[in-house]
Amino acid sequence: MSSDAIPTKKPVKSVGLHVGDAVPGCKKTDPILIADGVKRTFGGLTAVDVAHVEVPRGAITALIGPNGAGKTTFFNLLTGFDKPDHGTWSFDGKSLAHVPAFKVARLGLIRTFQLTKALGLLTVMDNMKLGATGQRGENLFRAMLPFLWRKQDDEIEAKALELLGRFKLDAKKDDYAASLSGGQRKLLEMARALMSDPTLVMLDEPMAGVNPALTQSLLDHILDLKTQGMSVLFVEHDMHMVRHIADWVIVMAEGKVVAEGDPYTVMQDQAVIDAYLGQHHDQDLGATDTGHVEALKELIDDEQ
Amino acid sequence: MIDWGAIFSNAAVEVLSPTTAAYALAALGLAVHFGYTGLLNFGQAGFMALGAYGYAISVLTFGFPVWAAVLVAVGASVVFALILGIPTLRLRADYLAIVTIAAAEILRLLFTTNTFRDVTGSANGLSEYKAGFRALNPFSFSGKAGFGPWMFSANDWWNIVVAWTIVALACVLVWVLMRSPWGRVLKGIREDEDAVRSLGKNVYSYKMQSLILGGVFGTFAGMIFILPRAVVPSNYATSLTFFTWAILLLGGAATVLGPVLGSIVFWVALSFFSGFVARAVEAGWLPISEVQSGQLRFILVGVAIMLMVVFRPQGMLGNKKEMSFVK
């Protein structure tokens, strides 16, 4: 099994993802998601203003940036949960502008949420079964005739059991999702997303609020997605994790993409350091900000 | 002395009464809306009014046969649900609550206004629409038949049989649907509609289907409601909606048989209290007038429901486990 307590494998990094220099908005050899001129303002505040960005296929891409950089808003825009002021974006060659969220999901672009959305008063199994798409019994009239959907429902249940086993949730299958711990809910949400066999999985802070014991298991699950041929785009604040599993990193700050590259080089990029620490982080501005000092130490740690 | 036998037998009559069946069915509609989908419909009285008036007007004004009149009533409530749902179902649940309560009142006032007196009968309402329905009655005995306190005429038995048959069919339908993948989507929407949307379900369409289905139950309830009485607009005030809600919460919001049991308990208790209070006033036990005693029963029922909600919030048939996770 992939989720032993100690790291079991060294992630195999995908290389050769981009064409030309690794600059913000650079071309990828095989992009799965392309966004162009996507802009979203809330009143006078520009939350997202992405000129051009491409997400590589078959790789794990991290979207990082300080709080308020517009990462989650960008996620919402890409998945149809929010509408931009203008812009175009396409997934697998199909334009997604003005496509409602549920159709985006049906195309194979499944997302999870920063605040976990486990469906509390449904059992874990029902949560999983809800994730399957193209169910005959989800039509009101066919639902009245169980013999039309029973067989398909059994197949979905078998698939759900297999996934729950992989995520070590099978013992919980008849419990309400509300009875799961925070980390288990994250696992459930990820497992549920896989029920529809997505091609691109977008994870919004998969590690937020997860205890260290579960972190390794979650990391392995994310790496598994790549092994199984899915592309992953995730938002994360934990730089250790980003460096550990990401093949490519896109950095956002103040709504714009400010840097791109592989995780080792991008963290040395001046624009990234500026975005995280402020442009004057190395000048003494008079007050001692311990938070910044610690963040800087962590960054130096990371670089070693 | 108080005639306890009469009080109990009057209360027992309510167990079978078509009125009890009508409230049960209307509450079952709310169970689909609120208990399973999380929609706050405070306009169930409007759906019931459409059932009553849709049926009665079709028969009286247009001379339709029974089946066509039923179709007109159902069609009217589907249109009503669409009008309510299209602007509000994209918004948060509270907006539907505000719009439904207002729309139900608008309907009642439209049915009350003198402008349409020829069709709606204004404040006097409508009657004399029952011939077609009674012509279908297979019972033909004269006088009363039955057993114990349940002695009814042939027409009353016909009302009772039709009313409870419809309720039973509706219960079976809801039971089947809520165990299907369709019901699973509804319950998912109740918990978190964004999560369901992210799994590729057209949430808006499912909410609309739920609103229509529960509304059609309300419409059938409205037609059952007018079997033993005339159509009177003042019956469709907001208190009708709130009684239905009380029944739903009494029985258990996300249950199939809760609304039925809730309705029976509600009407038996109401009849018992009113019988008891009226006779207690006659016997001089209570220092109030007869007019006051008519209101006292609602106070007693209200207290009973409050105790119920405080000490058994999941309702009579609800699942205790569900309540331990309520946010």
CB-based contact A143 B197, cutoff 8 Å: no
Overall domain count for chain B: 1
| Residue found under tokens 């159509």 | B231
* Comparison of pLDDT for B3 and B85, the residue scoring more: B85
Give the nearest chain B residue to A132 (CA atoms).
Answer: B199
Domain check: are A279 and A210 in the same one? yes
How much is the average pLDDT of B191-218? 95
Confidence (pLDDT) at A293: 59
**Residues of the domain holding A271:** 1-118+197-304
The string of pLDDT tens digits covering residues A78-91 is: 999 999 999 999 99
How much is the average pLDDT of A153-179? 92
In a domain, B91, yes or no: yes
In a domain, A257, yes or no: yes
Domain check: are A242 and A298 in the same one? yes
Substitution target in A122, A128, A130 with the highest count of B β-carbons within 10 Å is A130
Domain check: are A2 and A27 in the same one? yes
In a domain, A192, yes or no: no
Secondary structure (H, E, C), A102-117: HHHHHCCEEECCCCCC
**Residues of the domain holding B68:** 4-11+18-237
Overall domain count for chain A: 2
The CA distance from B214 to the nearest CA of chain A, in Å, is: 13
Among A179, A205, A220, which residue terminates a domain?
Answer: A179
Domain check: are A97 and A172 in the same one? no
Percentage, residues of chain A above pLDDT 70? 88
Long-range contacts formed by A73-76: CB under 8 A, 24+ apart: A73/A40, A73/A47, A73/A48, A73/A255, A74/A35, A74/A38, A74/A48, A74/A50, A74/A252, A75/A111, A75/A202, A75/A204, A75/A235
DSSP codes joined into one string, B260-311: HHHHHHHHHHHHHHHHHHHHHHHTT-SSS-HHHHHHHHHHHHHHHHHHHHHH
The CA distance from B83 to the nearest CA of chain A, in Å, is: 20
Domain check: are A114 and A135 in the same one? no
Domain check: are A265 and A211 in the same one? yes
Mean pLDDT is highest, among A136-150, B1-15, B162-176, for B162-176
In a domain, B199, yes or no: yes
Rounded to the nearest integer, the mean pLDDT of chain A is 85
Confidence (pLDDT) at A6: 47
Domain check: are A65 and A139 in the same one? no
In a domain, B106, yes or no: yes
- DSSP state at residue A91: E
CB-based contact A130 B184, cutoff 8 Å: yes
pLDDT band with cut points at 50, 70 and 90 for residue A1? very low
How much is the average pLDDT of A59-74? 90
Give the nearest chain A residue to B202 (CA atoms).
Answer: A102
In a domain, B249, yes or no: no
CB-based contact A122 B192, cutoff 8 Å: no
Q: Which residues of A touch B201 (CB under 8 A)?
A: 102, 130, 138
In a domain, B246, yes or no: no
In a domain, B171, yes or no: yes
CATH code of the domain containing A94: 3.40.50.300
Domain check: are A211 and A275 in the same one? yes
In a domain, A9, yes or no: yes
In a domain, A300, yes or no: yes
Domain check: are A239 and A299 in the same one? yes
CB-based contact A143 B192, cutoff 8 Å: no
In a domain, B285, yes or no: no
The string of pLDDT tens digits covering residues A179-224 is: 888 888 988 999 999 999 999 999 998 888 777 878 888 888 899 8
pLDDT band with cut points at 50, 70 and 90 for residue A4? very low
Among A179, A209, A226, which residue terminates a domain?
Answer: A179
In a domain, B212, yes or no: yes
How much is the average pLDDT of A262-272? 83
Domain check: are A168 and A274 in the same one? no
Confidence (pLDDT) at A3: 43
Confidence (pLDDT) at B288: 83
Confidence (pLDDT) at A268: 81
Between B123-137, B184-198, B298-312, the lowest mean confidence (pLDDT) is in: B298-312
Domain check: are A91 and A141 in the same one? no
Domain check: are A157 and A216 in the same one? no
CB-based contact A102 B176, cutoff 8 Å: no
